[in-house]
A and B are shown apart, each in its own frame.
Chain A
Amino acid sequence: EVQLVQSGAEVKKPGDSLRISCAGSGYSFASYWIAWVRQMPGKGLEWIGIIYPGDSNTRYSPSFQGHVTMSADTSTNTAHLQWNSLKASDTAIYFCARVARGDYFLRYWGQGTLVSVSS
């Protein structure tokens, strides 16, 4: 069974750094792109970007390029999303999801990680 399990909720202050994780199991983790999606409070879904764990190739949405960093570790089958300096506007739920082979729709999703940034 394909599973994506994300790390727990985080409460941070502006300027803090943060890395959240997404652990994949039940499939060949290195062979499927992982997507990250943001959902701000009460709002819709926003595509952050994708990473291919097999070679760490990344593709960022222009809106998020330079603001977050995606990485992946095939030794632990875990993908990460990282911020160097959080802002209050980063407050959101962040989902990881497995990208379908050959297409970019998302069949398997993590449960989401709530990131709260407040002074």
Chain B
Amino acid sequence: DIQMTQSPSTLSASVGDRVTITCRASQTINSWLAWYQQKPGKAPKLLIYKASSLDSGVPSRFSGSGSGTEFTLTISSLQPDDFATYYCQQYNSYSPVTFGGGTKVEIK
């Protein structure tokens, strides 16, 4: 299986900060990567798919980049509603789907 390593596991930041989360794949997945946001007690919400495509209705302060094995999710100016846990997911067709371990974004 393809292993997805997210870093950091926890991130403390303030409103207005620029935040970057990294996800590394154990082998190339081209651009088959999605990012999700999850708040406590809720289902995950899709933010980004195909590494950099913003899902409909997602604020433009979220952006994704990368290809191959290294990917980033950036929040350009952190808002109060953005404090949550973020997961990456690889969906290369020729391997079981796997998620990263998650990054919790906390209030500094």
Seen from chain A, the residues whose Cβ lies within 8 Å of a Cβ on chain B are 35, 44-47, 61-62, 95, 97, 100, 103-107, 109-112
Contacts and interface: CB of A to CB of B under 8 A. Distances in A.
A112 B46 contact: no
B96 interface: yes
B96 A62 contact: yes
A101 to B, nearest CB: 12
Given A62-B1, A103-B49, A107-B55, A47 B43 contact: no
A111 B45 CA distance: 11
B14 interface: no
B43 A103 contact: no
A44 B1 CA distance: 17
B100 A44 contact: yes
6 contacts: A44-B87, A45-B102, A97-B43, A105-B50, A106-B34, A109-B45
Which one of A35, A61, A105, A110 has the greatest number of beta carbons of chain B within 10 Å? A105
B91 A107 contact: no
B44 A106 contact: yes
A109 B43 contact: yes
A57 B76 CA distance: 42
Interface size range on B against A = 20 to 34
A47 B50 CA distance: 18
A110 B42 CA distance: 9
- Looking at chain B's contact residues, the main secondary structure is loop
Contacts of A111: 43
B99 interface: yes
A107 B96 CA distance: 18
Given A103-B91, A105-B89, A107-B55, A47 B44 contact: no
Nearest to B34: A105
B46 A95 contact: no
Given A45-B99, A47-B97, A104-B32, 18 more contacts: A44-B102, A45-B44, A45-B87, A45-B102, A61-B97, A62-B96, A103-B32, A103-B49, A103-B50, A103-B91, A105-B34, A105-B50, A105-B91, A106-B36, A106-B46, A107-B46, A107-B55, A109-B45
A104 to B, nearest CB: 3
